[in-house]
Structure formats: C-alpha cells, structure tokens
C-alpha cells in the first residue's frame, strides 16, 4: 500500500501544478531566511556598542563588526540546517493544489473536496513549522548522546511529524479535521512508516526539497487506499 502510493506519486512528479507549488515554496523560504538573517545581524549590530574599552589594551572599535559577521555566519549555518523544515512547512500552505492534481488524475469521479480556509491553513502551517523546528533542535541533543544511531532518530522523528502532517492534509479535504484525526489514530503505524519513507531522502541535499510535494501526493493516494481497504 505504501510503496504503490509512493511510486504513483513519483509517476506524477512532472505535473505542472507540482512544479508551481515547489517553486512558490522555495521562493518564499529563501525570502524568509534572507529576511531573518538580515534582521538578526541588524539586531546584533544595534545592540553592540560601537567601541569597548579593555584594561591594558585600550579602546576596541572592531568588536561590533566581529559580532555582526559572526552572527551572520552562525545564522547562515542554522539556515542551512533549517532549510528543509522551513521549506516543508511553508510549502504545506499550498499542498492542497498537489492533492487536487493527484485526485484529478487518479480519482476523477470524486465529489468536490471541502476547501480548508486559507486562514486555517496558515495557522496549521505555523503550528507545524514550530513543532518541526523545535523537535529537530531538541533532537540535536539525542544526536550527540546516541551518535551511532543518530540517523535513525532523525528518520523516526521526522517520519512521525511528516506522516502526521501529510495524512491530515489529505484526509481533512475529504472527511474534516475530527474524522481525519480518528483515521490517523487508527492507522498510526502505517502513517508513521510512510512518513519515515519520506524522511529518509531528507538527508540528500536538493532532493529533500521535493519531499513536501512527494509526501502530499503519496499520502493522498494512501488516504484513498486506507478508506477503501
């Protein structure tokens, strides 16, 4: 069930609606990270004194520049680490279009889905973004403590979060939030396993940016297979 859903999603990867969502999500992600980096560097520069007097050395006027550049490189490294979760969360706002493309092609006789209001989609995205970033940052501690199995922790954690998000996206369009949660609880094992399949390529640069698209398409297929089983 999981593999057939995954390969069906891959078979549609060239769909123009898939590309549109990918490019839109990437553009917004890059803009957000650039704005956040610029804002962080500006804040450090604003809070740092122009000069500091150090005993036996005298006045130092270059400390602010070092802190500003240091904060820039620090935030740049964090941005690289956060690129995937941020892109995933932002793209999630537009994944309804991916689900619609899948259903138009593979399930053409379905009635029109219930549209999730854009405001609710934004709230869900912000919540998902917060949980995803917080979980991955906290997991850094586990990665250090359990270094030999860090990659499995990464896959398991992100597999659970991605599976939860993408299944809810697919199911809410058809049965609403409450029924989608009930289905998710019933099929949590299948959903987690499918989410882990999505999480494994997260370790591959550039490929990981396709995961929101492939995930939404895969879980749309998975939802329909589960409800027909």
**DSSP 8-state secondary structure symbol assigned to residue 149:** G
> Is 156 in contact with 132 (CB distance < 8 Å)?
no
State the burial class of residue 123 (Cβ atoms within 10 Å of its Cβ: 0-12, 13-18, 19+): exposed
Average pLDDT value for residue range 38-51: 60
> Is 104 in contact with 173 (CB distance < 8 Å)?
no
22 sits in the region (left: phi over 0; alpha: psi -120 to 50; else beta) called: alpha
Q: Cα separations (Å) of 27 from 33, 90, 116, 209, 227?
A: 10, 10, 23, 12, 35
User: Which sign, positive or negative, has the C-alpha torsion 160, 161, 163, 168?
Assistant: positive
For residue 4, pLDDT beyond 80: yes
Global pTM reads 0.73
Q: What is the pLDDT of residues 58-71, one digit of tens each?
A: 444 544 555 555 55
Specify the 3-state DSSP secondary structure of 61: coil
Q: What is the pLDDT of residues 143-201, one digit of tens each?
A: 888 888 888 988 898 889 889 888 988 898 898 888 999 999 999 999 999 999 988 88
50 compared with 172, residue with greater pLDDT: 172
């Amino acid at each position: 069930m999981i593999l057939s859903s995954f390969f069906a999603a891959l078979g549609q990867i060239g769909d123009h609606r898939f590309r549109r969502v990918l490019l839109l999500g990437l553009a917004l992600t890059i803009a957000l990270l650039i704005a956040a980096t610029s804002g962080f560097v500006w804040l450090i520069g604003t809070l740092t004194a122009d000069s500091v007097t150090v005993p036996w050395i005298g006045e130092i006027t270059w400390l602010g520049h070092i802190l500003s550049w240091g904060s820039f490189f620090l935030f740049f490294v964090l941005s690289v680490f956060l690129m995937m979760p941020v892109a995933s969360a932002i793209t999630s706002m537009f994944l309804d279009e991916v689900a619609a493309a899948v259903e138009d092609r593979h399930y053409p006789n379905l009635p029109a889905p219930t549209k999730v209001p854009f405001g609710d989609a934004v709230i869900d995205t912000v919540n998902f973004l917060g949980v995803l970033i917080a979980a991955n940052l906290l997991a850094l501690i586990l990665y250090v403590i359990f270094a030999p199995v860090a990659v499995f922790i990464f896959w398991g954690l992100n597999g659970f979060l991605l599976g939860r998000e993408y299944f809810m996206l697919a199911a809410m369009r058809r049965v609403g939030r409450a029924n989608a949660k009930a289905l998710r609880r019933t099929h949590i094992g299948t959903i987690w396993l499918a989410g882990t399949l999505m999480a494994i390529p997260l370790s591959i640069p550039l490929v990981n940016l396709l995961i929101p698209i492939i995930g939404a398409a895969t879980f749309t297929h998975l939802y329909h297979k589960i409800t027909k089983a």
